[in-house]
Structure 1
Amino acid sequence: MERKMFYGAKPDIFFKAKWLRENMTEAEKLLWKQLNKNKLGVRFKPQHPIDIYIVDFYCHALNLAIELDGESHRNSKEYDQDRTCELENFGIRVIRFNNSEVFQNINKVMAQINYVIRECRIDKDST
């Protein structure tokens, strides 16, 4: 069975995702410059709807979501954990970074993303 791309996301989620793409945070813009145009050998989409959620960046080929946690996330660790659990129930691997990590050491963030991409490819090839 082919994996679904949006996992039942409703039209209002798509409108919100479009707005978020047009109004990315500075950290999202910086990371998007690194992920855009298949620079890592896989395609990521920014602000991608999945069910009732919108993930910051999503690679459909690897079922991989990247989430950036900003200032508004400091008091929402439980929500983030629940959200990650829900996404993982769809078979999506989620990796998270703080905005400060992106600003202070984008090379380290990219190295971690590359590592996870390699892991995902190995997992995909072994199934």
Structure 2
Amino acid sequence: MRSTSTPAEQKLWLALRANRFENRQFTRQTIIAPCTVDLASKAARLILEIDGDTHSAEDRYDTRRTEFLESLGYRVIRFSNPDVMGNIERVLSVIAQALRDAPSSQPSCQGVRGL
């Protein structure tokens, strides 16, 4: 687990923390064994990953990781650093839609790609 967040993670965290967004609780650097995810709402079964430049070389790892998290009933949305830093309103809109689309009785295993 990293001890510091990236600027993009910090920016998104400021918009989501303390139930500020859609009255949902998000946590950061959340452990969903054996993974540590950037941001998560366990109640909504939603994971948000903010991918930096290094992730372009890790597509296979990210795909396996996403499949594993989805097998646990989570939905995973990935955003790039430029998405978050340059268009936070659009990122929040995508997250709000994912929260609205979440089934109330059963978690979705459908992966979602950010922007």
TM-score, normalised by the number of residues in structure 1 = 0.79
How do 1:57-68 and structure 2 match up within 5 A? 57-68=39-50
Q: Which residue does 1:110 correspond to in 2?
A: 92
2:27 to 5, 21, 45: 45
Larger Rg: 1
Q: Which residue does 1:27 correspond to in 2?
A: 8
2:51 to 66, 69, 72: 69
Structure 1 stretches of at least 4 aligned residues deviating more than 6 Å after TM superposition? none
Q: Which residue does 2:112 correspond to in 1?
A: none
TM-score, normalised by the number of residues in structure 2 = 0.87
Structure 1: segments with no counterpart, 5+ residues? 1-15
Q: Matched residue of 1:75: which SS? A: helix
Give the number of aligned pairs: 106
| Offset of residue 93 of structure 1 | 0.7
CA RMSD of aligned residues (A): 1.4
1:28 counterpart letter in structure 2: E
Q: Matched residue of 1:97: which SS? A: strand
Confirm or deny that 1:97 pairs with 2:79: yes
Q: Matched residue of 1:47: which SS? A: strand
1:124 to 100, 104, 107: 104
Structure 2: segments with no counterpart, 5+ residues? 108-115
